[in-house]
Amino acid sequence: MNFSTLAALDHQYLWHPFTQQQEWVAQEPLIIVSGKGAFLRDIHGNDYFDGNSSIWTNIHGHAHPRIVEAIADQAARLDHTSFLGTTHPTAILLAKKLIELFPAGTLSRVFFSDNGSSANEVALKMTLQYWQLVGHPERSRFVSFTNAYHGDTVGAASLGGRNTFSQRFSQIHFSVEQVSSLRMLEEIPHPQTIAGIILEPLIQGVAGMRPWPPGMLQAIRKFCDEHDILLLLDEVMTGFGRTGRMFACEQEGVFPDFLALAKGLSGGALPIAATLTSEKIYEAFLGTIREEKTFYYGHSYTANPIAAAAALASLAIFEEESVLEKLPSKIQFFSHSLKKLASLPHIGSIRQCGLIAGIELMEDPLGGIAYPPARRQGAHLCHAARQYGLLTRPILDTIVLMPPLCSTEEEIDYALNALVTTVLTHNQRY
């Protein structure tokens, strides 16, 4: 099928996520037909650096032979079997590998699901049930951080930041208390009835790539320990090397009671998610059926073998290609390259954590004046960047640059140069 046929069919049959369809159908769609390493190719043969790792999922590049082979092998052997009542070797090995990434006595159990929102909701439900099972049903409050993002399903969205997108659904959200700082958290009344605190460790993603002050995570862990509150960490974005360590929580030597993983778990190839927890939590759920301690939750595709095989291959690549060992110099190079942007017009703050960067565009950075939201400067700039071979998406007026971990220094340089050119030629116009 040629471009115009596909474009017409897309416009006729599809409804894209987070997309104003009226605007979408008025434009030519970008039809991606292949991917190799850190690049994606469109139907016309144009290549783009995957500047946001395909919405923060890709780790080792597209079509990594190791992952492709693992998927093909697994699909030929066993495509799917229900995890309700049976098990299979690939998920067993994957769970073992995941737990071996953590020190003994911290996280020791894996509950699979298939996206980040679900991984967080599993942690929420386990937290609530845990307190009921250990005789503390009064612990039922959840605390999250202002502008947080934990997913789009109703439960996960209840935890997230309150904005114009989510406000519309507020009637069906459950009530969550939000704090904006450690100080607000420490002053929260009746901590003895808080069940759990959830946050994105080290850096908030959807909030605009906003790093927390150093030491924040340790302080929150301390607060949780003092008040016997469970700590839920959402590493859906930060997991699997993004911040320079395998998991962001390791950067402050903190281990949570629940850890949610998704996006990068399969290396970016297939949807799979996991909620990790400790033996203390797991054991509270043990009992006879009649004691009604069972965790009644699951999805049809829980621990899908093909997705689990991709995840296992991704973890093997981390070892075989010394992915973590190569990160410090890449991250340093990334910081250095980002400096090229600092002196350009209309660039506000540049925020970075590992291979994650948020570049904020501003009408007048010195005067602290943002662009009028209606101008949609971030969206226009990202659209313009395509013609220089860079594909990414903004968060309002913050340009996200999140190269796949496999990106070479040359490729990072290519992405930054494309962004510099875009800023120089397009940051005034709209």
Ligand X SMILES: *Cc1c(COP(=O)(O)O)cnc(C)c1O
Separation in Å, CA 390 to CA 30, 59, 267, 342: 13, 17, 21, 19
Segments in 300-365 forming alpha helices (H): 305-320, 323-342
Complex with ligand X: residue 272 or 361, whichever CB lies closer: 272
What's CA 280's distance to the chain center, in Å? 27
Complex with ligand X: residue 263 or 426, whichever CB lies closer: 263
- Smallest gap from Cβ 275 to ligand X, in A, equals 12
Complex with ligand X: residue 48 or 56, whichever CB lies closer: 56
Complex with ligand X: residue 70 or 356, whichever CB lies closer: 356
Complex with ligand X: residue 232 or 412, whichever CB lies closer: 232
Burial of 310 (0-12, 13-18, 19+ CB in 10 A): buried
The set of residues, in sequence order, having a beta carbon less than 8 Å from that of 262 and lying 6+ positions away, is 115, 116, 119, 236, 239, 271, 272, 273, 274
- Smallest gap from Cβ 235 to ligand X, in A, equals 7
Complex with ligand X: residue 249 or 362, whichever CB lies closer: 249
CA distance 198 to 179: 11
The residues that touch ligand X, with contacts defined as CB under 6 A, are 56, 115-117, 149-151, 200, 205, 234, 236-237, 262-263
Q: What is the DSSP letter of 181?
A: S
Residue nearest to ligand X (CB): 116
Complex with ligand X: residue 149 or 240, whichever CB lies closer: 149
Complex with ligand X: residue 191 or 205, whichever CB lies closer: 205
Q: Are 370 and 362 in contact (CB under 8 A)?
A: yes
Q: Are 300 and 80 in contact (CB under 8 A)?
A: no
- Token output for 206: 């959807």
CA distance 31 to 36: 15
Q: Which residues of 128-143 are buried (b: 16+ CB within 10 A; e: fewer)?
A: bbbbbbeeeeebebbb
Biggest distance spanned by C-alpha atoms of the chain: 69
Complex with ligand X: residue 116 or 404, whichever CB lies closer: 116
Segments in 140-181 forming alpha helices (H): 154-159, 164-167
Measured at the CA of 59, the angle between CA 393 and CA 266, to 5 degrees, comes to 110
Beta bridge partners of 40: 35, 48
Complex with ligand X: residue 133 or 402, whichever CB lies closer: 402
What phi and psi values does residue 255 have, to the nearest 5 degrees? -125, 130
The set of residues, in sequence order, having a beta carbon less than 8 Å from that of 194 and lying 6+ positions away, is 139, 141, 142, 143, 188, 227, 229
- Smallest gap from Cβ 154 to ligand X, in A, equals 12
CA distance 91 to 110: 10
Complex with ligand X: residue 200 or 257, whichever CB lies closer: 200
Q: What is the DSSP letter of 190?
A: -
3-state secondary structure of 378: helix
CA distance 45 to 62: 16
